[in-house]
Amino acid sequence: MTGFTAQEKLQNAQAISQEGDSRTPSTIPDHKQSLAEEIAAMSPEEFDLAEKKLIKKIDRNLVPWMTLLFTMSFLDRINIGTAKLAGLTTDLKLTSLQYNTASMIFFVSYVAAEVPSNLVLKKFRPSRWIPLIMIIWSIFQTTMGLVTNYHQLLALRFCLGLAESGLFPGISFFLTGWYKRKEASKRISLFFAGAVLAGAFGGILGYALSRMNGVGGKAGWSWIFIIEGLLSFVVGIASIFMVHDWPDQAKFLTPLEKEMVILRLKDDTGIMQEGTFSWKMVRSALKDWKTLCFMLMYIGCAEPIYRLFSPTIIAALGRFTTPQSLLLSTPPYVLAFITTMTTAYLSDRSGKRGIFLMFWSAMAAIGYLLFLVIPKRYPGALYFAVFLTTCSIAPCIATTIVWSGNTFGNHYKKATSMGFIFSLGNSGGIISSQVYRTKDSPRFLVGQGVTFGFSVICFIASVVMYFGLQRENRRREKTYGPAPGPGESNEWLSEEGKKRWGLEGMSREQIVELGDAHPAHRFIL
């Protein structure tokens, strides 16, 4: 909107305020003429200043708490690895197969519930759905510290996955409904970096809690589950007051600010933020080649991450005690935090996603290749491979999430596509829990080989997506000419715009259903 005249701003604001389908989705409110006129009356400098203040306000109210929520989520799902080192398998008399099954069962329910949960999040208020699932999973997590046999552990891990399934895809989807496409990477990467911090300090926290061995007649691994579960419960209760809804319902925004949020999104993607639920949109998401490609891309980096965040790999190097392994797992995560946020900054600044994914997935593949070829007698070199794989996979996860959220149009198609992307991707946890077998210790050659293959899959899918979207952008540019620029969002629906894009005779609902297939849309590469 920078540099536009008052008349141009008024035309665009009025175009939004006069749209008949202003209630689809819930992020698109009814706009009042007075607000449109107030925005139009701003000078370019005043609008820029108001926009900067608005973004900072949104950042303060959304990003820190979402980061905390995902940190707690990831801490709760990976602490079984720390509990194993603290005596879980010994006390419960678990075989290697039973431990791997207990690790895997979490992802079975997690994967199955991700798509339905994303649709529920869109249907109901995030400020109620997100705290609800967090409180439920914290109860399962806490009671996991009271189990006395394998079957109880298995049942609770299944329930934990079911409850946690809505958070990661839900937050990712939620944040894409607040920011422009080229603003999203830093925000989503920051909340994902909470998982990196969970890895960085989860080992230290787990070690500290394991020192409570014998307190209250409980083993150290029991206290890991109990204390971390209680922390999640407290955060879940607080989330009732801290989690906000979509822009039209967010209580921390003034009516004018709500109008500006919608105007910014419209200016970025036209009517692509809209959409109503229909099975046609679900089928459209399933048939879109981009959904499958992103699914392969995400499982390519998600499968490795569940074994990266485990001090078991370091313990298997053979030179370190359990406490040392827990503490040595921290530095690689600190580096991963740095690479994730640096990549996010550069990605948003350049407006590119694919080039970063190709680079980091290639680096990850090299790291896993080092695990396969370096002998055990060189623990320093193997520890370097831990650094390389960890700092490479973390930015791959965050960038894939952002790129998929930037790509799909129509609100419900995006919700469905992202749900399926997360579902297949997180099924990588099932694979990971089965290929890293205790009998393969200390080198875990089968697991490292499989994970090397998934890193290559991520690289190949990134290449295919990049050049596929580039080709489609060029085709649309050649056929229809340049896409609407800033301040031209009304071209998506005007009669002149319909004629320009070859959409004459189509209703508003039909145009909304086009989503990212709209000829005016250009994909971020």
In whole angstroms, give the CA distance from residue 313 to residue 332.
12
Q: What's the whole-number mean pLDDT along residues 103-116?
A: 83
pLDDT of residue 362: 96
Lowest mean pLDDT among 146-160, 287-301, 310-324, 432-446: 310-324
Higher-scoring residue by pLDDT: 492, 335: 335
Residue 315 near residue 325, CB atoms below 8 Å: yes
Please give the pLDDT value at position 75: 80
How many C-beta neighbours within 10 Å does residue 316 have? 20
What Cα–Cα distance (Å) separates residue 296 from each residue in 293, 327, 426, 450?
A: 5, 33, 11, 14
Decide if pLDDT at 182 tops 90.
no
- pLDDT tens profile 269-301: 655 566 566 677 778 888 899 999 999 999 998
pLDDT tens, residue by residue, 458-513: 999 999 999 999 999 999 898 888 877 665 555 556 677 777 777 777 777 777 77
What's the pLDDT score for residue 392? 93
Alpha carbon separation from 415 to 107, 114, 402, 420, 479 (Å, rounded): 20, 10, 13, 9, 29
Most confident of 126-140, 171-185, 396-410: 126-140
Which of 189-203, 225-239, 255-269, 418-432 is the most confident on average?
Answer: 225-239
What was the pLDDT predicted at 23?
39
CA nearest neighbour of 76 among 197, 164, 16, 186: 164
Closest CA to 153 of 115, 201, 188, 104: 104
**Quick one: pLDDT at residue 86?**
83
Task: Output the CA–CA distances (angstroms, integers) from residue 74 to 85, 125, 164, 397, in the order listed.
Answer: 18, 23, 9, 14
| 304 upstream amide cis, omega within 30 of 0 | no
Q: Which residue has the higher pLDDT, 39 or 139?
A: 139
pLDDT at 319 over 80: no
pLDDT at residue 91, as a whole number? 92
Whether residue 7 is predicted with pLDDT greater than 80 in this model: the reply is no
Contacts of residue 214, Cβ cutoff 8 Å, sequence gap at least 6: none
Where is pLDDT greater, at 347 or 323?
Answer: 347
Query: What are the phi and psi torsion angles at 376 (to 5°)?
Result: -65, -25
Contacts of 238 (CB under 8 A, 6+ apart): none
Model pLDDT, residue 135: 94
- The mean pLDDT value for 137-146 works out to 94
Res 292: pLDDT: 93
Q: What is the pTM of this model?
A: 0.75
Cβ atoms 160, 103 nearer than 8 A: no
Out of 87-91, 197-201, 370-374, 411-415, least confident range: 197-201
226's tokens: 């109990």
Does residue 337 sit in helix, strand or coil?
helix
Q: For residue 20, what pLDDT is reported?
A: 42
Mean pLDDT of 217-225: 90
Local confidence band at 6 (pLDDT 50, 70, 90 cut-offs):
very low
Closest to 174 in 3D by CA, of 165, 182, 184: 184
Q: What is the mean pLDDT of residues 155-160?
A: 93
Chain centroid to Cα 256, Å, comes to 29
Q: Residue 25 has what pLDDT?
A: 43
The per-residue pLDDT for 492 is 58
Q: How far apart are alpha carbons 140 and 157 in whole angstroms?
A: 8
pLDDT (0 to 100) of residue 200:
65
Percentage, residues of the chain above pLDDT 70: 84
Question: Is the model's pLDDT at 9 over the cut of 70?
Answer: no
Tokens standing for 118? 């994303």
The two three-digit tokens of residue 504, written as one number: 């004459």
Given a cut of 80, whether residue 185 has pLDDT beyond it is no
DSSP string, 439-479: GGTTT-HHHHHHHHHHHHHHHHHHHHHHHHHHHHHHHHHHH
The predicted structure's pLDDT at residue 175: 82
Distance (Å, whole) CA 170 – CA 121:
7
